[in-house]
Structure 1
Amino acid sequence: MTFLSPERLWLLILLPMMVALYVALQMRRRQYAVRFTNLALLSQVAPKRPGWRRHVAAGLFLAMMLIMLIGFARPATGVKVPRDRATVMVAVDVSLSMMAKDVAPNRFEAAKDAAKKFIRDLPGRFNVGVVSFAGNANLVAAPSADRQAAIASIDQLVLAKRTAIGEAVFTSLQAVRSFDAQASQDPPPAHIVLLSDGDNTTGRSVTEAIDAGRTAHIPVSTIAFGTPYGTVDIEGETTSVSVNKETLRTLAEGSGGKAYEAADGGQLSEVYSSIGSSLGFKIEHRDIAARFTGIALLLALAAGGASLAWFSRLP
């Protein structure tokens, strides 16, 4: 629980003062009784009553004041609220190294299958966009709730030379900033999921991409897709394409995201699912002062009822 007007809590210092005043009055009452030496007459003037009853109404009144003062400071509780504008950008590496068959049937097909499953499983309130990147980066599906358009764009991806990881991040950030009319001033909560097997060989650097992601407050989570043993045949030559986990981890940790390793499509689906669920809600603080007002009212009624029942007067 938190308070929307915490500065009002200083009024709580009034309670110890009230308690001290009450105790002082009780001690004064006792001293008066001792000075009244005609005990027989005292018993007629002030017949004995159970001593604890005197304090019940006062205790209830003080409890009521405590609850009212807390309510005056506007207590609030955190509530999960769906993020209707939440956007996930899926950036897919389409460089030639994705032809490697160390992940069946190959890295490229396994990545596409996992990405499509992820998009299908996203809750309807999520928006999803798709970016492909090789020698440059292209927005192939603008972020929207249209799942079929995003899936169709993945089916149409084709491989190309080189790898521009930095450009993929910048293109994804631009897609988020262009999401709707208010995005430039109030960008939607977003997360970039970048799937690649490793090296940034062209375009803007990974360091520039990290700075851009941090400035926009949009984390980039990376998935190192592949194994150290991947090879591809390019123009009749077999080339080793070991996954570069270090570059992807640097990008993820530097931008505030997380770095994952997905050696197969099944692991990739689990990673996508966990990232997607993290954007599902935001915490908003809701004023619950009315609850405290209601409790204070019940305590006031109890204090008044006890005083009337035992002493025929209000406290």
Structure 2
Amino acid sequence: MVFANIEYLFLLLLLIPYIVWYILKHKKNNATLQMSDTNIYSDIKKSYKIYLLHAPFILRIIVLSLVILILARPQTTNNWQNSEVEGIDIMLAIDVSTSMLAEDLKPNRLEAAKDVAAEFISGRPNDNIGITLFAGESFTQCPLTVDHTVLLNLFQSINSGIVEDGTAVGMGIANAVSRLKDSKAKSKVIILLTDGTNNKGDISPLTAADIAKSFGIRVYTIGVGTNGMAPYPLRVAGTIQYINTPVEIDEKTLTQIAITTNGNYFRATNNSKLKEVYKEIDKLERTKLNVKQYSKRHEEYQWFALIALLFLLLEFYLRNSILKKIP
């Protein structure tokens, strides 16, 4: 146990002169009733009240001592523990172009990607994780954080059409790299998910991959979409009509990005395959970290206050009942 305001303990020294004063006071007390000879009382059994005569003073000293201890704020000490955990820095780069609304994955590609990525985040409590979104341009939805509650809340607000349409894969990688380049983590990873080919942006995907490699960042690329044609919802006159659109994923470029950065390329043609992809990445990216964990201090004045109150009530009871003095 430690004390947050340890200097208050010096107040205990003030009890010493108080005790000395009490002793001297009772030594100087004169008898209320003077007798010429007390031998006639020698055989009378002493009352138990004689032994309790100084009890109120002792109780008062204890109460004062406890009050001083309460002022000093007793606290439990921190519990330090060295442990080994697994943690890395991860940026999720997610394509939010309108083609991600295709429903070859259920309910659509974007919602399926969000669900699986959220499950992935929940399974990595020790990681710094952030989100980059890209379509025709790219921006950071959430910087690297270990507060996964906030991260998952922001995840729910992701939707298609929030930026200019298109697929700027290179910009998505570059934006994620800007968030990871200064990281001191042993392992830095980008998980890029897209369903198309690069057709926008000022940075080509392979140039962005070279930049990632220069900072020691691995890029895992995921091409999401079925083989062949995919149903795409189209709003016509207030109703939803479905048209079949071809699935065009630049697997060659996504594979080259992964190879350049020592990552892997995965293809997810349905919901279950997408889950398998994230599970595979989860297995690949595990780094042992030695961390020192501690518990917060807790105030421990409650017991001192309770005992002080009980002793104060006991002193009040003795002084006004059994040991009550009549002038």
Q: Give TM-score scaled by structure 1 length.
A: 0.57
Query: Cα distance, 1:218 vs. partner?
Result: 0.8
Match of 2:210 in 1: 211
Q: 1:254 to 1:239 in 2, by over 3 A?
A: farther
Question: For 1:224-265, what per-residue CA distance to the aligned partner results, in whole angstroms no more than 9, with x for missing partners?
Answer: 100131243557694724141233222222221100111122
Cα deviation for residue 151 of structure 1 reads: 1.4
CA contact (8 A) 2:86 2:289 kept: no
239, 243, 247: which is aligned to 1:242? 247
* Aligned residue number for residue 230 of structure 2: 230
Do the aligned residues in 1 keep the contact of 2:224 with 2:267 (CA within 8 Å)?
yes
Match of 1:288 in 2: none
Aligned to 1:121: 123
Aligned to 2:166: 162
Aligned twin of 1:175: 179
Q: Counterpart in 1 of 2:135?
A: 134
**Are 1:274 and 2:280 counterparts?**
yes
- Secondary structure (helix, strand or coil) at the match of 2:197 reads coil
Tell me which residue corresponds to 2:295: none
Shift of 1:157: 1.1
Aligned to 1:191: 189
Residues 104, 270 of structure 2: 8 Å contact kept: no
Q: Is the 8 A contact 1:166 1:206 kept in 2?
A: yes
Distance 2:176 2:94 in 1: 11
Secondary structure of 2:272 counterpart: helix
Summarize the Cα distance change of 1:265–1:239 in structure 2 as closer, same or farther, 3 Å threshold.
Answer: closer
Map of 2:8 onto structure 1:
none
Q: Would the aligned equivalents of 1:83 and 1:189 in 2 still touch at CA under 8 Å?
A: no
CA-to-partner distance for each residue in 1:164-207, whole Å, 9 max, x for gaps? 111111111111135xxxx3xx4552111111112111111112
Distance in 2 (alpha carbons) for counterparts of 1:82 and 1:278: 15
Q: Which protein has the larger Cα radius of gyration, Structure 1 or Structure 2? A: 2
**1:225 counterpart letter in structure 2:** V
Q: Which has the higher helix share?
A: 1
Q: Which letter maps to 2:230? A: G
Change (3 A) 1:129 1:283: closer
Q: What letter corresponds to residue 197 of structure 2 in structure 1? A: D
Instruction: Find the partner of 2:271 among 254, 259, 265.
Output: 265
Q: Which residue of 1 aligns with 2:154?
A: 153
In structure 2, distance between residues paired with 1:111 and 1:241 = 19
Q: How far apart, CA to CA, are the structure 2 residues paired with 1:130 and 1:265?
A: 21
C-alpha contact (below 8 Å) 2:229/2:244 kept by paired residues: no
Distance 1:239 1:254, change over 3 A: farther
Letter in 2 for 1:152: N
Paired residue secondary structure (1:230)? strand
Shift, 1:283, TM fit: 9.5
Q: Secondary structure, in 3 states, of the residue corresponding to 2:116?
A: helix
Q: Which runs of 5+ in 1 are unaligned?
A: 1-79, 285-315
* 1:75-114 equivalent positions in 2, closer than 5 A: 82=85, 84=87, 86-114=88-116
Identity of aligned residues (%): 28
Q: Is the 1:117–1:269 contact (alpha carbons within 8 Å) kept by the matching residues of 2?
A: no
Contact 1:99 1:107 (8 Å CA) reproduced: yes
Say what the alpha-carbon RMSD is for the aligned residues.
2.5
Return the letter of the residue paired with 1:190: K
TM-superposed deviation, 1:269? 2.1
Cα distance between partner residues in 2 of 1:165 and 1:239: 24
Secondary structure of 2:177's counterpart equals helix
Q: Residue 140 of structure 1: SS of its match in structure 2?
A: strand
State the 4+ residue runs in structure 1 displaced beyond 4 angstroms: 80-84, 233-239
Distance 1:281 1:165, change over 3 A: same
